[in-house]
Amino acid sequence: MEEKDIYLGALTAKLYLRGEQLHFKISPILGQQINFLMDAPIEKIKVIKSTKDELFIKSSFWLSVKIKFKENVPELLKARIIPYYFGAIPMGVFFGDISITDRDYLLEIFKR
């Protein structure tokens, strides 16, 4: 796989190489009231759900992220991103747009 930036509105998400390992990083842009950071090797991220409409991943005991996709206009989807602490406590909601190509790339990375 290759390094890639994924555009999600108020969040920054990217896949990047650290040494030999591919990492996934997602966090809000600076200045947001809600703050979280997921930055882990792809192999250590547990996939809870990966469908065309939803991606739910967990990087550690205390942080998981759910991304729901909804059609908006051709080639563009609305994304609703919810970070959860301890798998049950939502820490807010972020909204953004994501291209179908980027959504499919994420689903391909996290299909397991």
The reported pTM is 0.89
pLDDT of residue 98: 95
CA distance 23 to 21: 6
Give residue 99's domain range: 4-109
107: left (phi over 0), alpha (psi -120 to 50) or beta: alpha
Q: Chunked in runs of 10, what are the mean pLDDT values of the chain (112 residues)?
A: 85 92 88 80 95 95 94 92 91 92 94 78
pLDDT of residue 1: 64
Question: How many domains are contained in the chain?
Answer: 1
pLDDT of residue 31: 63
Number of other residues whose CB lies within 10 A of the CB of residue 74: 6
